[in-house]
Structure 1
Amino acid sequence: MTALVVQDLRKSFGGVEAAKGITFTVAESELLALIGPNGAGKSTCFNMLNGQLKPDSGSIKLFGQEIVGKRPREVWRMGVGRTFQITATFGSMTVIENVQMALLSHHRRLRAMIPFAGDLYRDEAWELLELVGMADQAGRACGTLAYGDLKRLELAIALANQPRVLLMDEPTAGMAPRERVQLMQLTADIVRARGVSVLFTEHDMDVVFTHADRVMVLNRGELIAQGSPQEVRNNSDVQSIYLGSGALYGAEPAMEASA
């Protein structure tokens, strides 16, 4: 089943075309990577998908329902979650309180925040923290967490809305290589078990080629390649964009390319 259908998506800023007729689909439970050099249009694409930017033209359908023109909160309510390159948590709140805040919003109980919000959805929040391996740090203030733990917490917060499609912007940015592998494997296991579709951007090609079911490559607002990791790895246009010439991430130890 197709979760997301994007057709002929276009967006310009003045004389700069940031998206030039982008068309793709995301299947149910699929992990689809969107890669490309700086300025390729990845962030613009993401911001249109979750309603932060309105495309100049084109269509975005979530399980057959058009979402172009809807506000970010409406898109979120329809089942499109998102994580960001720079984590956004409440540093003075505890880990579990951050997840409870997301659950309060999901259940439309934000007006109940005071004075007994700390008692609401605590068990549900605990289950999400266990899912991402953060239950043992539930009582810690977010401001004291290591960056890798913040990324795990952000995943739990994103899952609180029970998303059908999850947009992940540089999910492993700022993490050590071993943490990157662990987080993406955790993400892959969780979303496949829950039937969530994932579209993610990533600069670490080792992560992309290990975990993505398919890969799309943007360059100057255009989709220049899409297919299996191996097909994209062997694409001459992709090789040229990333390395100038030669093979893109062959059998030797993986390299990183700027996203």
Structure 2
Amino acid sequence: MSAVLTVEHLSRSFGAIKAVDDVSFSLEQGELLALIGPNGAGKSTCFNMLMGQLKPTGGVVKLNGEKITGLLPRQIWRKGVGRTFQITATYSSMTVVENVQMSLISHHRRIYSMLPYAHKLYRTRALELLDTVGMADQADRHCAVLAYGDLKRLELAVALAHEPKLLLMDEPTAGMAPRERIALMQLTADIVRDQGVSCLFTEHDMDVVFAHAHRIMVLNRGQLIADGSVEEIRNNPQVQEVYLGGGMLFHAAEEKADA
């Protein structure tokens, strides 16, 4: 496998505070990589630098070997990076299918020629993407009336409309019920497996992380303190102590997995 994302010595300081401190890692094609850590560990700051919302204080980010450090978010998106957010970002006044159509119109660079026929453009492809995330039966509903879990699935379809090589998912299951969390991450894992997309996601729910991640990285106070398999992270004394205060939640997650 080849590295889709390579991060070398990535750092970001806010005055004297080092939010991200000399972080290096790589993400392989078709890999589902979890980035975990306590609140304030630097996870969102790291994500914002990868996507161009924040300029690094130091370090380099490469996509398929090409340096993307310092590019604008739209430029990084054009190179094949999709992202979902902790708080869903959809057009509430539009229908479900129209949201996906808008993403497809942008992907195909038809923003300035779409009116007055936008509702006809790429509808078939949009419905295919909605079917992928289990939302085809709600295509013509307005987003304003959707349940939160359905909005999260729609946001994933919108991200996939760009045919990303790399998918960044910041707290994808935040605000969702336990059953919805499991379903969304299983869907993501299926997409990674079937389409060969690489995915980096942050998550606080250990059941979700341990059930689906191929590999786990742990940040604490801006520093990468561990990087390994589910079992390696679960049994890492430093991770248990620093991240979860002795590992009680790790053991609880393990008991659920064995039940």
TM (norm. structure 2) is 0.96
How far is the alpha carbon of 1:241 from its aligned partner?
1.7
How far is the alpha carbon of 1:248 from its aligned partner?
5.1
In structure 1, the residue matched to 2:142 is 141
In structure 2, the residue matched to 1:192 is 193
Stretches (4+) displaced over 3 A = none
Q: 1:246 to 1:31 in 2, by over 3 A?
A: closer
In structure 1, the residue matched to 2:24 is 23
Count the aligned residue pairs.
Answer: 254
Give distance in 1, aligned partners of 2:197 and 2:152.
18
CA-based RMSD: 1.0
Give distance in 1, aligned partners of 2:230 and 2:9.
23
State the one-letter code of the partner of 1:205. Answer: M
Give distance in 2, aligned partners of 1:246 and 1:94.
44
State the one-letter code of the partner of 2:256. Answer: P
How far is the alpha carbon of 1:246 from its aligned partner?
4.6
State the one-letter code of the partner of 2:121. Answer: L
- Structure 2: runs of 5 or more not aligned: none
State the one-letter code of the partner of 1:91. Answer: S
Stretch deviating more after TM superposition (138-147 or 113-122): 113-122
Q: Is the 8 A contact 1:234 1:247 kept in 2?
A: no
State the one-letter code of the partner of 1:49. Answer: L
In structure 2, the residue matched to 1:117 is 118
How far is the alpha carbon of 1:15 from its aligned partner?
1.1
State the one-letter code of the partner of 2:58. Answer: S
Aligned sequence identity (%): 67
Give distance in 2, aligned partners of 1:108 and 1:74.
13
Say yes or no: does 1:222 pair with 2:223. yes
Q: Is the 8 A contact 1:233 1:248 kept in 2?
A: no
Alignment of 1:85-234 (within 5 A): 85-234=86-235
Say yes or no: does 1:72 pair with 2:73. yes
- Structure 1: runs of 5 or more not aligned: 255-259
Give distance in 2, aligned partners of 1:152 and 1:25.
27
Give distance in 1, aligned partners of 2:186 and 2:22.
32
Q: Aligned to 2:187, what secondary structure does the other structure show?
A: helix
In structure 1, the residue matched to 2:60 is 59
Q: What does the per-residue CA deviation read over 1:23-45, in whole Å, with 9 as the maximum and x for residues that have no partner?
A: 00000000000000011000110
How far is the alpha carbon of 1:190 from its aligned partner?
1.2
In structure 1, the residue matched to 2:37 is 36
Give distance in 1, aligned partners of 2:225 and 2:247.
18
Give distance in 2, aligned partners of 1:5 and 1:198.
13
In structure 2, the residue matched to 1:252 is 255
State the one-letter code of the partner of 1:252. Answer: E
Stretch deviating more after TM superposition (217-226 or 109-118): 109-118
Q: Is the 8 A contact 1:242 1:248 kept in 2?
A: no
In structure 2, the residue matched to 1:46 is 47
TM (norm. structure 1) is 0.96
